[in-house]
Amino acid sequence: MLRSSSRERSSIIDTVIKILSEYPLCDNCLGRCFAKLGYGLDNKERGKAIKTFLILYLDHKIK
């Protein structure tokens, strides 16, 4: 099983937060920003997955 390091995961999260803080991107456009991640996903699926993960991550951090 592949595992990403905590630093790598944090870097992606920080990048997503920075992007979405500056630009209100749709799922498709956000997914395009991370096109090298998630083999087999189209941009819309990738963007929605990133936003879903971000919501879960932030919810966990505030509880």
pLDDT by residue (tens digit) across 17-40?
Answer: 999 999 999 999 999 999 999 889
Q: Which amino acid is at 62?
A: I
CA dist., res. 41 & res. 59, Å (int): 25
Looking at residue 62, the DSSP 8-state letter turns out to be H
CA dist., res. 38 & res. 23, Å (int): 22
CA dist., res. 32 & res. 60, Å (int): 26
Q: Does pTM top 0.85 for this prediction?
A: no
Share the mean pLDDT of the chain: 90
CA dist., res. 48 & res. 36, Å (int): 15
Residue for token digits 């799922």? 27
